[in-house]
Amino acid sequence: MNDHHLSGEAFERLHTWVLAHCPCALEDPEFLPGLIVVVELEVERALRANCWRALKVLTEPCKQ
C-alpha cells in the first residue's frame, strides 16, 4: 500500500508510535498498512461530517 494519503510526517509518527508500543505487531506485514487504512477512513468520515455540518449552517435561513 504505497498510495496512502497521510502526510509523510503523520505516517512516520504513527510508525514510531507503533514501534514503541506494539513492536510485535510489525511482524505482520499487513498490520501497518491496515492501520493506515482505518485511520484514513476515519479522517475522511470526520471531514465529511464536518463539511455537512458547515453546509447546513451556511444554508439555514437567518433567524431574525
Closest CA to 6 of 39, 51, 55, 48: 39
- Provide the residue range defining the domain that includes 35: 8-59
Domain count for the chain, please give it: 1
The pLDDT tens digits of the residues spanning 2-46 come to 455 678 888 888 888 888 988 888 889 898 888 888 888 888 888
State phi, psi for 27 to the nearest 5 degrees.
-70, -25
Instruction: Name residue, grid cell 463539511.
Output: 51
C-alpha–C-alpha distance, residues 22 and 8, integer Å: 20
Q: Is residue 42 part of a domain?
A: yes
First to last CA, the chain: 52
State the pLDDT confidence band at 57, using cuts at 50, 70 and 90: confident
Structure confidence at residue 47 (pLDDT): 83
Structure confidence at residue 1 (pLDDT): 40
Q: Is residue 64 part of a domain?
A: no
C-alpha–C-alpha distance, residues 2 and 15, integer Å: 14
